[in-house]
A and B are shown apart, each in its own frame.
Chain A
Amino acid sequence: MTLIKEIDYGTPESLSVKSVTLTIDGKSVTVPEGTSIMRAAMEVGTEIPKLCATDSIKAFGSCRLCVIEVEGRNGTPASCTTPVAPGISVKTQTPRLAAIRRGVMELYISDHPLDCLTCAANGDCELQDMAGAVGLRDVRYGYDGANHVFARNNGEVNFDWKPKDESNPYFTFDSSKCIVCNRCVRACEEVQGTFALTISGRGFESRVSAGMDEAFMESECVSCGACVQACPTATLIEKSVVAVGQPEHSEVTTCAYCGVGCTFKAEMRGEEVVRMIPWKDGKANHGHSCVKGRFAYGYAHHGDRILDPMIRESIDQPWRVVSWDEAVGFAADRLKAAQEKYGKNAVGVITSSRCTNEESYLVQKLARQGFLNNNTDTCARVCHSPTGYGLAQAFGTSAGTQDFDSVDDADVILVIGANPTDAHPVFGSRMKKRLREGAKLIVIDPRRIDLVRSPHVEADYHLPLKPGTNVAMVTALAHVIVKENLVNLDFVKARCDWDEYQDWAAFVADDRYSPEALESVLGVPAADIRGAARLYATGGNGAIYYGLGVTEHSQGSTTVMGIANLAMATGNLGRRGVGVNPLRGQNNVQGSCDMGSFPHELPGYRHISNDAARQAFEKDWGVSLDPEPGLRIPNMFDAAIEGTFKGLYVQGEDILQSDPDTRHVSRALANMEIVIVQDLFLVETANYAHVFLPGATFLEKDGTFTNAERRIQRVTKVMSPKNGYADWEVTQLLANKLGLNWNYANASEIMDEIARLTPSFAGVSFKHLAEAGSLQWPVNDDSPEGMPIMHINGFARGKGKFVITEYVPTEEKVGPRFPLLLTTGRILSQYNVGAQTRRTENSQWHPEDILEIHPHDAEDRGVREGDWVKVASRAGETTLRAKITDRVAPGVVYTTFHHPNTQANVVTTDNSDWATNCPEYKVTAVQISTTNGPTDWQHQYRELTEQSRRIASTIDAAE
Chain B
Amino acid sequence: MSHDSVDKLVRMANQIGTFFVAQKHPEGVASMTDHLKKFWDPRMRNAIVAHVDHGGAGLDPIAIEAVKRLKHPAGAAASELRPGEGGSDG
Contact = CB atoms under 8 A, between A and B. Distances in A.
A554 interface: yes
B54 interface: no
Interface in B20-57: 22-25, 35, 37-44
B73 interface: no
A33 interface: no
B85 A343 contact: yes
Interface string B7-21: 010011001101100
A629 B38 contact: yes
A630 B40 CA distance: 7
A653 B47 CA distance: 30
13 contacts: A343-B85, A503-B25, A609-B37, A609-B38, A631-B41, A632-B39, A635-B41, A638-B8, A644-B86, A804-B24, A811-B11, A915-B19, A916-B39
B43 A644 contact: yes
B85 A915 contact: no
A343 B41 CA distance: 14
Contacts of A639: 43
A956 to B, nearest CB: 40
B35 A600 contact: no
Contact of B41 (A503, A557, A609, A629): A629
Interface of B is mostly: helix
Interface of A is mostly: loop
B41 A599 contact: yes
Nearest to A802: B25
B19 A914 contact: yes
Interface string B58-90: 000000000000000000010000001110000
Interface of B: 1-2, 4-5, 8, 11-12, 15-16, 18-19, 22-25, 35, 37-44, 77, 84-86
Interface residues of A, number: 39
Contacts of B12: 912, 914, 917
Interface in A631-647: 631-632, 635, 638-639, 641-642, 644
B15 A628 contact: no
Nearest to A507: B22
A917 B36 CA distance: 13
B41 A638 contact: no
Nearest to B1: A642
Contacts of B8: 638, 910
Interface in A489-514: 497, 499-500, 503, 507
Contacts of B85: 343, 345
A599 B42 CA distance: 12
A312 interface: no
B60 to A, nearest CB: 12
Q: Which 9 A-B pairs have the closest CB atoms?
A: A914-B15, A806-B22, A503-B24, A804-B22, A628-B42, A631-B41, A914-B16, A638-B5, A808-B18
A609 B37 CA distance: 10
A97 interface: no
A188 to B, nearest CB: 47
B82 to A, nearest CB: 9
Contact of A804 (B5, B23, B37): B23
Contacts of B42: 628
A470 interface: no
A526 interface: no
A586 B35 CA distance: 28
Given A607-B38, A915-B35, 9 more contacts: A497-B25, A507-B22, A599-B41, A641-B5, A642-B1, A803-B23, A804-B22, A914-B18, A915-B39
